[in-house]
A = this chain, B = another copy of it.
Amino acid sequence: MPTVDLTTLPTRAPAEYHKSTTLRELKKLRQELIGLQDRLYAQNRHSVLVLLQGMDASGKDGLIRRVFSGINPQGVQVYSFKEPTEQELAHDFLWRVHQQTPARGMMQVFNRSHYEDVLITRVNGLVTADEARRRFTAINAFEKLLQQAGTTILKVYLHVSEEEQQERLQERLTDPAKRWKYEAGDAHKASQWRRYTAVYEDVFAHCSPATCPWHIVPADQNWYKAYLVARLLRDALVKINPQYPG
């Protein structure tokens, strides 16, 4: 698989995109998604897994709200992976993840995922490069298993610039509506920017087969990333082409 240099990839929309027109497009896409999801659920054959990763403050929560609001929640589930519990740590790293994979007919969003087990764990020195290699192999096999069972996987990396991240983390300290998101570790993690970039690049190099690639989405502007992810999801659903049972 090709190597990726994140520093060369854009974090903002190309100049031809404008906020207002893009937001109108997003609205249309959401209408399409509502219809496609309804057919996916009714057909009860395929499933979709949208997996979101990104540095702190890359806007995962906001993206989920912007893309999935309005879709029938009966057919969509969001699961946010937190620090593993004792019971989860007593099993292999995919144990808790496998339990959350979508049933036929469902759309599942992973807010963070099994990739944390080769990212934060590596930055914190809990997982060696060798162990990460073994986990990459396990992850690829796991995702293939899901695909073979009828799950379309959309892996999205929200790519923010270091400057934008800093600004957002700062905002968390001053905006009462965002303050609850601030964790004591945020400042420290920001200083680990380069190490996070390196381990993400390693993930993209090893876990992005042609059949299950990562989509690296410019994420400095909320309207643009929501539009792009909605479009990716719409395209994936169109490819599935779900039909109401005859």
Contacts and interface: CB of A to CB of B under 8 A. Distances in A.
A52 to B, nearest CB: 21
B141 A93 contact: no
Interface in A105-119: 105
A145 to B, nearest CB: 5
A243 interface: no
A102 to B, nearest CB: 8
Interface of A: 44, 87, 90-95, 98-99, 101, 103-105, 134, 137-138, 141-142, 144-146, 148-149, 151
A141 B92 CA distance: 13
A149 B93 contact: yes
A46 B98 CA distance: 21
Contacts of A91: 101, 103-104, 149
A148 B131 CA distance: 9
Nearest to A45: B90
Contacts of A137: 141
B101 A95 contact: yes
Contacts of A105: 90
A101 B92 contact: yes
Given A91-B103, A98-B98, A138-B145, 11 more contacts: A44-B90, A90-B103, A91-B101, A92-B145, A92-B151, A94-B145, A98-B99, A99-B99, A138-B141, A141-B142, A141-B145
B90 A98 contact: no
Nearest to A141: B141
